[in-house]
Every structure is written in structure tokens, then in C-alpha cells.
Amino acid sequence: MDKKLDYAPCGYIVFTREGRIEETNETMCDILSSTKTEINGEHLNNILTKASKIYFQTYFTPLLMMHTKVNEMYLTFVTSEGEETPALINAQVRDDMVECAVLQMKIREEYEQQMLFDKRNAERILEETDKAYRQLQGLLQEFEQKRWELTMLNGELEQLSITDSLTGLYNRRYMENRIDDLLEKAREDTVPFGVIMIDIDLFKVVNDRFGHQAGDEVLKELAQVLEGGVRSDDIVGRLGGEEFLILLGSAGEKEAVETGKRLCQLAADKVWESTAVTVSVGVSVYAEGDTQRELLERADQALYKSKADGRNRSTYHGHIC
């Protein structure tokens, strides 16, 4: 046998019309896990499974005798170790002998089985992925809802932390922080701002005579008066008790003085739903080098001056406006 044919990548068998094996190549020996000595001289039936023997006798041999050629006939061989090896057979009759090319199908079957397994596994993974994706979408929606609720809650908590619960105005801590912001801006841009401190006249008398509930109503009404008496970007807060603070952004001496006077007059002219009161006002304006403490002290001194001079009036730097 030609050496190239002996080691061809497919099995090669030559047998008689009666099925007696005359010759095999090394590749066929490897497929059957046998040697040429063991195979040559054997009948083809001895290396086929029972089903393939029947198929060989019923279809393969008659077709071969009629057409002298058979293409892609599927047979299963049995190795010397008893293992079944499926193969595709191409055969033809030449010189009264039958030559067969045997293409082993075992690896192909393994590939097909693996491909089928992989396909089913992929379908399962896809189904699980789709299910997981739907669950993830649900979790993301729930997360977004919780995040929105948390954001709203944080906003509410932040607002509560800077708000006076009775009047709804800003509280002392917030006002002090904003003074620091205005001081920084004034130092950088040399933009002045005003500070107005307000105190309700004889508020203790209101509480003693009408009760603390009436006093609370007065505080809430005054908060509305103050917010309505300043610009929208001015900041109104309650320092505590009956004392209020207003920050006038970008306001010089004239505007601050006029605002203090106007607020004092608004309180005096108001028709009160609770108990009529007046207010005393102290005004200060940022000067270069001022600290928060100095600004507030000047406003407080001006407020004290308003109280000492008879209340219901506004004072700027010791001068009645």
C-alpha cells in the first residue's frame, strides 16, 4: 500500500464481494484499535454492530452490486475493545474488489452533542438572564422610588434643621451661616449688606396678659409682616423668643435705614388678628474689616437705643432713623 494512503486522514478498507477484508490502512487500524494482522482476513460482519450488519446486507451490498458505488452510507463499527464507532462510508467496486473510504463520525457526534448541550444551556441561561433582568428592572424601579423618597426626606430634614418650627422662618444657625456668606462676598467684591435686628415691644406683657398661645400668634403674624416688607432675595429669620433678624443683600446705608423704618411702621399700622404690638428696630451695615460679631453687636446696640428712647422706632448706629 502506498505510504501516503496508509496514513491518510480517513480509514481505507479493501474487501471481496463476499465481505472478506483483504487490506486496511493504518488509519483504519487506529479507528478499530487493532492491527492489520488482526483485521485482514476477517469478515466485514465481525467488525460491525448487529444493526449495521443487517443494514450492510440489506442495503449496502445490493446497492453496491447494482451501481458499483455507494456514497455516504452510515455504518457503526466495533473496536477490539468493544466500543462503537459510527462512520460514513464511501465505496466503489474496482477490479472485482470493493474499496471503502471510512470517515469516523465519533468526534462529530461528540461535537453535535456538545453543541446541543451548549444550545440548551444557552437557552437556559438566556431564560434565567431574562428573568434576572426583569427582577433587576423591578429592583431598580424600587431603588429609584426609595432614592426619591430618601431625597425628599433628606430635603425635609434639611429644611427642618434650618427652619424655626413656629414661624416657618429661618432659624438662628442658618442666619449666622448666611452672615458668614455675605461677609465673604463683601470682602471679595466690596459689596455692602445690611443687618436689621427686630424685637417685639413689651412682649412679656402680651404673654402674661393673654397667654403664650396668643404670644405665639403674634410671632407668626409678625413673621408674615416682615417677609412681606422686604425684597424676595432678602433673608428673614427668628433668632429666638421675640427677636428677629433680617439680612439685606447688596444694600447700603440708605436702603438699610429705609427698610428698618418701613418695617417698624408696617408693624405699627397693621390691623392685628391676635394682639396689637409694635416693634423696635436696630440697623447696621457692613464696613470693611467687620466680623459677624461686630455687625450683630452694632445692630443690637442700635436696637437697645430704640428701646431706651421709647420703643416703636428704628435706630441706625445710635441715630434714630
Q: Is 34 helix (H, G, I), strand (E, B) or coil?
A: coil
Residues 133 and 216 occupy one common structural domain: no
Instruction: Annotate 233-286 with DSSP letters as a single string.
Output: TSEEEEEETTEEEEEETT--HHHHHHHHHHHHHHHHH---SS----EEEEEEE-
User: Phi/psi of residue 41, each to 5°?
Assistant: 95, -20
Residues 26 and 42 occupy one common structural domain: yes
List Cβ<8 Å contacts ≥24 apart for 292-295: 292/176, 292/179, 292/180, 292/183, 295/179, 295/183, 295/195
> What span, in angstroms and rounded, lies between the C-alpha atoms of 17 and 128?
57
For residue 166, being part of any structural domain is answered with: no
Q: Residue 60: its pLDDT value, please?
A: 87
For residue 251, being part of any structural domain is answered with: yes
For residue 167, being part of any structural domain is answered with: no
Cell of 316: 441706625
- The model's confidence at residue 114, banded by pLDDT at 50, 70 and 90, is low
Q: Residue 109: its pLDDT value, please?
A: 58
In this structure, of 49-58, 110-119, 250-259, the range with the lowest mean pLDDT score is 110-119
Residues sharing a CB contact under 8 Å with residue 12, sequence separation 6 or more, in sequence order:
1, 5, 23, 24, 25, 27, 28, 99, 100, 101, 102
Average the pLDDT over 54-58 and give the result. Answer: 88
Which of these, 229, 228, 213, lies nearest to 275 by C-alpha position? 213
For the annotated catalytic residues, the residue numbers are 242
Q: Residue 132: its pLDDT value, please?
A: 84
Residues 14 and 80 occupy one common structural domain: yes
> How many structural domains comprise the chain?
3
Residue 291 pLDDT greater than 80, yes or no: yes
Residues 223 and 122 occupy one common structural domain: no
> What span, in angstroms and rounded, lies between the C-alpha atoms of 299 and 304?
9
E-only strand ranges, the chain: 11-16, 21-24, 69-78, 84-94, 97-104, 194-200, 235-240, 243-248, 279-285, 314-316, 319-320
> What span, in angstroms and rounded, lies between the C-alpha atoms of 29 and 6?
10
Residues 100 and 115 occupy one common structural domain: no
Residues 126 and 81 occupy one common structural domain: no
Residues 238 and 275 occupy one common structural domain: yes
Residues 132 and 157 occupy one common structural domain: yes
For residue 260, being part of any structural domain is answered with: yes
CATH code of the domain in which 182 resides: 3.30.70.270
Residue 317 pLDDT greater than 80, yes or no: no
Provide the residue range defining the domain that includes 127: 111-161
Residues 284 and 303 occupy one common structural domain: yes
CA 47 from centre of chain? 65
Q: Is 80 helix (H, G, I), strand (E, B) or coil?
A: coil
Cell of 202: 413689651
Measured from the Cβ of residue 283, the count of other Cβ atoms closer than 10 Å reads 31
- With cell 404673654, the residue in question is 207
- The model's confidence at residue 78, banded by pLDDT at 50, 70 and 90, is very high
Q: Residue 189: its pLDDT value, please?
A: 87
For residue 314, being part of any structural domain is answered with: yes
User: Phi/psi of residue 218, each to 5°?
Assistant: -60, -45
CATH code of the domain in which 79 resides: 3.30.450.20
Q: Residue 111: its pLDDT value, please?
A: 56
Residues 202 and 88 occupy one common structural domain: no
Q: What is the pLDDT of residues 141-199, one digit of tens each?
A: 888 888 888 778 777 777 778 899 999 999 999 999 999 999 999 999 888 999 999 99
Q: Residue 226: its pLDDT value, please?
A: 96
Residues 54 and 136 occupy one common structural domain: no
For residue 10, being part of any structural domain is answered with: yes
Q: What is the pLDDT of residues 227-243, one digit of tens each?
A: 999 999 999 999 999 99
Sign of CA dihedral 258, 259, 265, 271: positive
For residue 85, being part of any structural domain is answered with: yes
Residue-averaged pLDDT of the chain: 89
**Percentage, residues of the chain above pLDDT 70:** 95
User: Phi/psi of residue 42, each to 5°?
Assistant: -75, 160
Average the pLDDT over 10-35 and give the result. Answer: 92
Which amino acid, 205? V
Element (H, E) at 32: helix 26-32
Average the pLDDT over 118-135 and give the result. Answer: 81
Determine contact, residues 296/196, Cβ cutoff 8 Å: no
> What span, in angstroms and rounded, lies between the C-alpha atoms of 9 and 235?
93
Residues 191 and 307 occupy one common structural domain: yes
Q: Residue 113: its pLDDT value, please?
A: 65
